[in-house]
């Protein structure tokens, strides 16, 4: 059974899962679905065609499911799908897709710190941390176990690979490969995210392979095609590190940071 504060507004049509808690002056729109165990603190807003998975938590003044700011938007019912156990801290905003049938997607176990923003039509993985005041523009794809630092900005249509870190105050205008730390304005790939990979259970040999890839792509003066050719010829080419990095690099459209 849901617990709804008497001052909260839950529009007719909203679907509330078991044990949902909605605090004072919170707002839930008519097309919203809240999974079991979700908690909306006072003055939180969840609106639009939005589906929150179980055990999500929305802090005061966050707006989840707001209308896109994309000027191409037309009347319709774009959506937002959010997985389980996501935390949206104060003043976070996450927008719907742009057009009818388009979605903004978030995975599981993400933490979005105060004032951060996810724009329309993004595809966000799981176990993400996006720090305060950071902004992810429209159509960005972010992998799993990514850390985006304070006040970083991610340009439209960029991709950020798994286990990557974008440092604080960075301006990211190209794709950030898996396993790296990127920093600067514009953002440049600096080194392998050794601490992050170790914490995620990658072996020392896999970390060494990631360092080898970093040298191939960024230290040996090779162009992208040459680096890809050498990477595919590595003894570790069948392993998950090379497969992820090479697959990401081969698919880039904006170029690698």
Q: Are 4 and 10 in contact (CB under 8 A)?
A: yes
Q: What is the pLDDT of residue 75?
A: 87
Query: What pLDDT shows up at residue 74?
Result: 86
Does the residue 184 lie in any domain?
A: no
Residue 18 lies in a domain: yes
Taking only the tens of pLDDT, the chain with its 257 residues reads 899 999 999 999 999 999 999 999 999 999 999 999 999 999 999 999 999 999 999 999 999 999 999 998 888 999 999 999 999 999 999 999 999 999 999 999 999 999 999 999 999 999 999 999 999 999 999 999 999 999 999 999 999 999 999 999 999 999 999 999 999 999 999 999 999 999 999 999 999 999 999 999 999 999 999 999 999 999 998 999 999 999 999 999 999 99
160 domain-assigned: no
Let me know if residue 32 belongs to a domain. yes
Q: Is 138 a catalytic residue?
A: yes
145 assigned to some structural domain: no
Q: What is the pLDDT of residue 154?
A: 98
pLDDT of residue 25: 98
Are the beta carbons of 36 and 18 closer than 8 angstroms? yes
Q: Which of 138, 143, 149, 161 is catalytic?
A: 138
CATH number at residue 208: 1.20.1180
In a domain, 72, yes or no: yes
Alpha carbons 161 and 144: distance in angstroms, whole number: 7
| Whether 86 and 204 share a structural domain | no
User: Which one of 55, 70, 108, 121 is the catalytic residue?
Assistant: 121
Residue of 43, 95, 117, 120 marked catalytic? 120
- In this structure, the answer to whether residues 15 and 107 fall within a common structural domain is yes
120 in active site? yes
Asked whether residue 183 is assigned to any structural domain, the reply reads no
Residue 83 annotated to the active site: no
Residues 209 and 93 placed together within one structural domain of the fold = no
Q: Which of 139, 156, 176 is the last residue of a domain?
A: 139
Which of 139, 166, 182 finishes a domain?
Answer: 139
Question: Number of folded domains in the chain?
Answer: 2
In a domain, 188, yes or no: no
Taking the C-alpha atoms of residue 126 and residue 144, their distance in angstroms, rounded to an integer, is 5
Domain carrying residue 64: 3-139
Q: What integer pLDDT is reported at residue 21 of this predicted model? A: 98
């Amino acid at each position: 059974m849901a617990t709804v504060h008497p001052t909260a507004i839950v529009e007719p049509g909203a679907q509330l899962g078991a044990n949902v808690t909605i605090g004072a002056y919170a707002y839930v729109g008519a097309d919203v679905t809240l999974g079991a165990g979700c908690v909306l603190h006072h003055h939180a807003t969840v609106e639009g065609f939005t589906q929150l998975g179980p055990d999500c938590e929305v802090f005061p003044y966050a707006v989840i499911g707001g209308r896109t700011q994309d000027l191409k938007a037309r009347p319709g019912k774009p959506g937002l799908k959010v997985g389980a156990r996501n935390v949206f801290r104060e003043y976070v905003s996450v927008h719907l897709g742009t057009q009818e049938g388009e979605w903004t997607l978030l995975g599981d176990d993400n933490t979005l710190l105060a004032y951060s923003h996810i724009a329309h039509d993004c595809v966000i993985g799981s176990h993400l941390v996006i720090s305060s005041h950071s902004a992810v523009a429209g159509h960005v794809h972010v992998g799993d176990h990514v850390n985006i630092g304070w006040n970083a900005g991610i340009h439209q249509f960029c991709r950020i690979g798994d286990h990557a870190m974008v440092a604080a105050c960075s301006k990211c205008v190209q794709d950030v490969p898996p396993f790296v730390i990127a920093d600067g304005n514009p953002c440049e790939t600096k080194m392998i995210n050794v601490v992050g990979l170790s914490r995620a259970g990658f072996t020392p040999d896999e970390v060494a392979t990631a360092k080898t890839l970093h040298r191939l792509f960024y230290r040996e003066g090779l162009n992208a095609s040459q680096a890809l050719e050498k990477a595919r010829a590595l003894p570790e080419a069948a392993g998950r590190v090379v497969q992820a990095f090479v697959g990401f690099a081969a698919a880039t459209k904006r170029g690698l940071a």
